[in-house]
Structure formats: structure tokens, C-alpha cells
Amino acid sequence: MILVSEVGPRDGVQSLDAVLPLELKKRWIAAEAAAGVREIEVGSFVNYKMLPQMADTAELVAFARGLPDLNVAVLVPNLRGAQAAIAAGAHKISIPVSASETHSLRNVNRSHSQMLDEVSSIRGEIDALPEADRPYFEAGIATAFGCTIEGNVPESTIVRLAEELIAAGAQEIGLSDTTGYADPAMIRSRIKAVHRAVGSDRLTGVHLHNTRGLGLANALAALDCGMTTLDSSLGGLGGCPYAPGASGNIVTEDLVFMLERMGYDTGVDLEKLLKVRETLERDLADGPIFGFLAEAGLPLGWAKTKGRK
């Protein structure tokens, strides 16, 4: 089974100018969970003066924890954010560590060495909890395929950071195409390099953007390398506010369609998911909604033709 991890309520919402009402976000999260989405990144514990769209994250975590069979994920930039996430009861915590040090300084105001210290401190905070209360702790390597500020990011930098992050206490590494610079060859090369360095069990997911139209091609390359978790955003919402030119995540409904059409089981009911998209599109009015499946529709006889792997 492939886990499609929905990041729209965090990565998508943070890219919007408007602050969405809490009740709208709750409806969105509940509807996606009801459609079979098993993991949702509901927000981030950040400086709310910088990103006021995330000010209700603790309330969203509390709400989402009440939904059946949903893994509630959040993003944190530092120890303080992790402490808030732990207090709120998030199941999964992700910290972004940019391979581009310039991007890291703009995004979280910390160098590589400072971010490694944050990871180590968060590990200590988690380990002090009773085992049953410990959230899963992932470090996502942002700008892992290139940076709009620095340009090329060497593969050796990605490998070094992966090794250092695991040593500092991250349970797993994620690779993020923050700026949409990746291509399928880069995806394969960098996943394999990180697997050799830290083990295939320490890298099972990727976060891809569709900025230059290669999102689904890159997702397919990641699948070929054994990835079992793919991040995406309903309607393709999203983009890092501190990476100039970075835009849209992979469209959740398009990704689910591709996976199910190929025979992979995602557990997602596409008909229900498309209804969620329709509601979100109405709620956002003139918001930047993307995707092909919603426009073309499901193929005739869809329910009878999809396979399983």
C-alpha cells in the first residue's frame, strides 16, 4: 500500500494571502479523512507573526486526533515548535533542514550546525516522554534537488546531511523538492545515494512539487526506488514562501488516480476525494486550484477497471 500524505492544510494554506477560518479547515481535514486519506499534515508550529495562517494549529491537532484512523502530522522549525507539537498531541513531527544553507537561514534563521543542534534537542525532548506518548520524528531535507537562491545543491551535501540528521536523532529522512528542480534521474540518484548512506528503512518518502510539470514523473521514479510515502496537496496548493518561484505541490487527486490506475492501493475513495476538492474550490473562491482529473473526470467504468498491488 502507498501512503498519500496530504500536506494542503499546512503547505497549501501557508502559501495563501488570506487566513482561512478554523471551521473551514476542520471541514476540509474531516472530509479528506472520510475519503480514506490516512495521514494529514494539519499545520505547523511556527512564528505566527510571520505565518498567521498557522495560528490555529494546536486546535487543528486536537480536532484531527478525534478522527478515526488518521495520523496527525505537523511541521516544526525548532525545539520550541516541537514542544508545542508534543503538548498538542501530534502523532508525527517533521522538521525542515534545508540542504541550501542560504535557504535555511531565510526559512528558519539557522545554519546547518544550528539545525543539527535543534534535532538533537528535539530527540532528547521526545525520549523523555513515556514510550507510548512519543511522536514519530522525521527530518525533511528541503531544497534537496536544487535551490532558487544558490542553484545547484551537490548530492554529496544531501548524503552528508542525511547521515548527520540520523546521528542527531531523526528516525527518518525525507527528501523535498522545495523548488521543483528535480527530474526523474535526480530522484533515482539521490534516493539511492541516501539509501546507501543510512539504509533504505531511513528514507521511505518524498515531498515533490510540480513547479515545472515533472511532479508525477518524479513520483513514479520515487516509486521505482521503493518509496512508500508520497506527499501531495489537494488541488495542488502550496509553495515555500521563502523560496522565490516555488509553487504547487503534486495534486493529491491526480496522484491518487495515477497510483490506483497502476494497481497500487492507496485506501482513498477517489469519488469522495473529488467531492472534497469541489467544496474546497468553492470555499477558496478565486484560490489557485490546479489539477487534471477534476476537469477530465474519472474514466468510464472506473470502479471496475482499477487494479491492486
Report the catalytic residues: 240
AA identity, residue 208? L
Give the three-state DSSP class for 193: helix
Cα radius of gyration rounded to whole Å, the chain: 18
Residues 6+ apart with CB under 8 A from 95: 75, 76, 77, 78, 82, 115, 118, 119, 122, 137, 138, 139, 140, 170
Q: Calculate the CA 10 to chain-centre distance.
A: 8
- In a 13 Å sphere around the CA of 139, the CA atoms on its Cβ side amount to 30
Query: In terms of DSSP H, where are the helices of the chain?
Result: 22-34, 57-64, 79-88, 101-107, 112-127, 155-168, 184-198, 215-224, 252-262, 270-284, 293-296, 302-305
Euclidean distance between CA atoms 237 and 161, whole angstroms: 28
Contact 289, 238 (CB under 8 A): no
Euclidean distance between CA atoms 267 and 3, whole angstroms: 8
Residue count of the chain: 309
Contact 292, 254 (CB under 8 A): yes
Burial (CB count within 10 angstroms: exposed 0-12, middle 13-18, buried 19+), residue 233: buried
